[in-house]
Amino acid sequence: MKVQKVIRKQGEYAKVNQDIKDGDIITVLDAGEVITGDFGDRNVFKVETNNGPKNLSFNQTSMNNLIDEFGGETESWVNKQIKVWLITQSVSGQMKKVCYLTGKEWEMVEDNKGNLNFARMNKKEIDIPVVNEEEPLLKDVPF
Q: What are the pLDDT digits (tens) for 81-120?
A: 999 999 999 989 999 999 999 999 998 888 888 777 888 8
The neighbour count for residue 97, using CB atoms within 10 Å, is 15
pLDDT classification of 125: cutoffs 50, 70, 90:
very low
Q: Are 101 and 41 in contact (CB under 8 A)?
A: no
pLDDT classification of 9: cutoffs 50, 70, 90:
low
Please state, in angstroms and rounded to a whole number, the distance separating the CA atoms of residues 118 and 106.
7
- Considering the entire predicted model, what is its pTM? 0.75
Say whether pLDDT at 11 is over 50: yes
